[in-house]
A and B are shown apart, each in its own frame.
Chain A
Amino acid sequence: MSRHGRLAVALLAPGLAVLVVFLIVPLAMIVVISFFTYSPTRIWVPVPTAENYGKFFHPYYLGVTWTTVKVGLLTTLACAVLGYPLAYMLARMRSRWLGLCLFLLVTPLMVSSVIRIFGWLVILGKKGIVNSALEAAGLGAMDLLHNVTAVVIGLTELLLPFMVLPLMASIENIPRAVEEAARNLGATPLQLFRRVLLPLSLPGLVSGSLLVYSVAISALVTPALMGGRKVRMLGNLVYDEVLTSLNWPFAASIAVILLVFTVAVMVAYLRTLRALSRRGGRA
C-alpha cells in the first residue's frame, strides 16, 4: 500500500470504527432480532420466525404506516414551500443582520422539544389563543390538536432549518447575473424560478427534503405530544413496543420496515426530481 493509501486508512479508521460499532452492528442486531420469536418471559428467544412481519400487515399497523408517510411527506412539502422563499432571501441578503437571522432560524433546534411543543399547546390548545379568538368571534372552540395537521405544524417548525440551510447554500451558488440574464431574456419571476432557480438549487432542495423527511418519519416526541393517541406514527409504535409491551422482536421488525420505507421513499423521490429537472431543462 502506498503512503497516501495508508494515511487515508489511518484517517478514515476512527470514523469508520464509530459507524461500525454504533450503527452497523446495532442495525444488524435489529434485523436479526426482528426474525426472532417473542417470549413474554424472556423478551425474545432465538427461534427464527417471520411472524413479526406477518403481524405488521394488519390494517391498524398499515394505517400507522400510512400516517407516518403522510406526516413525512406533508412536513417535507411544508418545509419546502415555506423554506424556499426564506432560503432565497437569506442567500441574497447582504445586510449585517444575516447572522441574527440565521440564529433565529436555528433557534427551534436549540429549544427543548417539550418547551417548544408547550408553546404550540398554548396557541392551539382547547383554551389556547386560536380557540379564544374563535370563541370571541362567536365560532366556538374546536380541537386543533390531535390531528395530522397539528403534528405537521409542530414538525415543520422544528425541521425548517434542515430545509433552509442546504437550500441556502445551493442558492448562494447561483450567480445573481444568471438570474438577471433570465429576466433580461424575458422570464417572469415565476418562469425564472421554474426554469433557472429551481433546477440550479435542486441539489439543496434534495438534501433538505431528505433530511426533513427522514427526521420527520422517525419523530417521536412531537407526534406523542401534539398528536396524542389519535395520530400515531411508527416511532411511537416502536417506543411502545420496546418500553411498554416489551415485544422487542416486533419493535425490531417495525424499525426495519420504517428503514425500508425511508429508503424507498427517498429513492422514489430522487428519481422523480431527477426526471423533473431533466424535463425542466429541456422545456
Chain B
Amino acid sequence: MGLDVQALVKRYSDTVVVGPVSFAAAEGEFLSLLGPSGCGKTTTLRCIAGFETATGGDVLIDGRSILGLPPNRRDVGLVFQSYALFPHLTVFENVAFGLRLRQRPAPEIARRVADALRLVDLAGLEGRHPSQLSGGQQQRVALARCLALEPRLLLLDEPLSNLDLKLRIQMRSEIRKLQRRLGKTAIYVTHDQGEALALSDRIVVMSAGRIEQIGTPREVYETPRTRFVADFIGASNLLAGVVEPSGTTIRVGDARLTSSDASVPGPVTVLIRPERIRVVAPDTAPASGNLLSARVAEVVYLGEDLQLTLEVDGGISLAVSLKATVAEKELTPGTAVGAWIAREDVRVLPSPEARGA
C-alpha cells in the first residue's frame, strides 16, 4: 500500500505554498520530490511528518489517514538535512532514543542499536558524541537512529546536501542499497537532479507548489511534459518554434525540424538534449532525421566531455556535448559542421504562452 498523498494543500494565511498535490508511493518504492528551493517539496514532506498542518487534502499510510496524529505517533522516520542529532547524547543513546521512549527492554535496545549501527557501518563508535564525528558519520547516525525504529515510511529531507561531492555520491548509493535491502518505502526530497535520477524508482518534479510531472527517471529525462521539467532536469536546448499547418514540420528560426512527437499546429517549445546532437561533416546527406548546417562558435574542454556551442544557419545556437576523443581535435571555432538530430530526439513541448492561456 505505501503512502498516498491526496490533493494536499498547505496555505499560510492567503498564500498557497503547496498544492493541491497528489502522488502515491508503493510499498518499497523510492520516490523523490525534486524541485528548486521554494517549490514546496520540503513543506510536503513536513506535512507527511506532521510538522506542518495541511490546510486541505489527506495523507494516507497503508490506507489510513495520518493527518489526525501528532508527529510522535505517525511512525515515519525523518532524516534531517542538518542531521539534528542530540548533542548531549552518545551515538549509542542517539540511536537508542526512540527505543527508550518505547520502553523496550535493555537487551533488545542493545541488539537493535547494534544492528542499526552495523547497517550504516558505524559499529565501534557507540561511545562518541556527535561533535566528535565527521559530517558523513553524523549522517549515518541520523539514518541509523531512524532505521532502529523500523518506521513504516522513511522520509529524507536533502540528507546529503551538507556533504562534499565524493561522499555524497558514496552515501547516495549506500542509501539506495539500504532502502532496497530493507524494502522500506522512502520519500526523498532533493533539489539535486543527479541524486534524484540515480536514486529513485520514480520522481515527482515540483515547481511553485505544484507537481509538474511524475515518472521514472528515464521518463522525466527523455519525455519531459513541460518546459520546466526539461529545463530543470539535465542540460537542454530549449527553442521557441511553430508547428507548421501540415503538422509534420516545426519551424525554429529559419530552420525546419521534423519530430516523431505528434503535434498540432501552433507555437511550441522544442527540446533537444545536447548529448543527442551528432556533429557530422557538413556535406553529409543523411537518410532520415534533421541535418542543420552550422559553424562551431565555442569549444570547452572538460576532460571527459567536450562542450560545443554551434551557431546554426538561421540564427539559433545549440549546445552540444560530445565524448572528448582524439577525433574531435579538429573542432575549432569557425569550423563548418553539420548537426544531425534524430527525429525522436526532437521533443515537442507546449510553449510557455500556450500554458499560460
Asked if A and B bind, the verdict is yes
Taking beta carbons and an 8 Å cutoff, which residues of A are in contact with B? 175, 177-178, 180-188, 191, 195-196, 199-200, 277, 281-283
* B87: chain A residues within 8 A (beta carbon): 178, 200
Are B78 and A184 in touch, CB under 8 angstroms?
yes
The complex places the Cα of A240 from the Cα of B133 at a distance, in Å, of 59
**One of B49, B86, B93 near A182 (C-beta < 8 A):** B86
Q: Report the bound CA distance from A47 to B76 in whole Å.
A: 77
CB nearest neighbor in B for A179: B84
* 8 A Cβ contacts from B55-99 to A: 70-74, 76-78, 80-82, 84-89, 93, 97-98
Contact check, B72 vs A181: say whether CB atoms are below 8 A apart. Answer: no
Note all chain A residues with C-beta closer than 8 A to B71. 180, 183-184
Which of A177, A200, A281 has its CB near the most chain B CB atoms (within 10 A)? Answer: A177
Residues of B within 8 A of A (CB): 49-51, 70-74, 76-78, 80-82, 84-89, 93, 97-98, 100-102, 142, 145-146, 149
Nearest first, the 5 closest Cβ-Cβ pairs linking A and B are: A177-B84, A185-B98, A181-B84, A183-B71, A184-B78
Please give, as numbers and ranges, the residues of chain A lying within 8 Å of B149 by CB-CB distance.
Answer: 185-186
Q: A186-B72, A199-B88 are in contact. Are A191 and B101 (CB under 8 A)?
A: yes
Q: How far is the CB of A240 from chain B (nearest CB, A)?
A: 47
B95: shortest Cβ distance to chain A, in Å?
Answer: 10
A282 CB contacts on chain B under 8 angstroms? 93
Task: For B82, give its contact among A175, A182, A191, A277 (CB under 8 Å).
Answer: A175
Chain B residue nearest to A277 in the complex (CB):
B88
Interchain CA distance A183-B75 in the complex, whole Å: 10
On chain B, the residues within 8 Å of A200 by CB distance are 86-88
The one of B49, B86, B89, B102 in contact with A186, judged by C-beta atoms closer than 8 angstroms, is: B102
- A181, B86: Cβ atoms closer than 8 Å: yes
- A182:B97 contact, CB within 8 angstroms: yes
Give B77's nearest chain A residue, CB to CB: A184
Question: Would you call A187 and B101 a contact (CB within 8 A)?
Answer: yes
The docked-state distance in angstroms from the alpha carbon of A196 to that of B50 is 19
A281's partner among B74, B78, B93 (CB-CB below 8 A) is: B93
- Of B50, B93, B97, most buried by chain A (CB within 10 Å of CB) is B97
Chain A proximity of B340: nearest CB distance (Å): 51
Interface pair B102/A181, CB less than 8 Å apart: no
Q: How far is the CA of A108 from the CA of B111 in the complex (A)?
A: 55
Please determine whether A187 and B82 come into contact, CB atoms closer than 8 angstroms.
Answer: no
Given A178-B87, A182-B86: 9 more A-B contacts, CB < 8 Å: A177-B80, A177-B84, A183-B50, A184-B78, A185-B97, A185-B98, A200-B86, A277-B88, A281-B89
Known: A182-B86, A282-B93, A283-B100. A187 touches B72 (CB 8 A): yes
Name 9 interchain pairs, CB-CB below 8 A, sorted by A: A175-B84, A181-B78, A181-B145, A184-B74, A184-B78, A186-B73, A187-B72, A277-B88, A281-B88
Residues of B close to A277: CB separation below 8 A: 88
**Bound complex: CA of A210 vs CA of B290, how far in Å?**
81
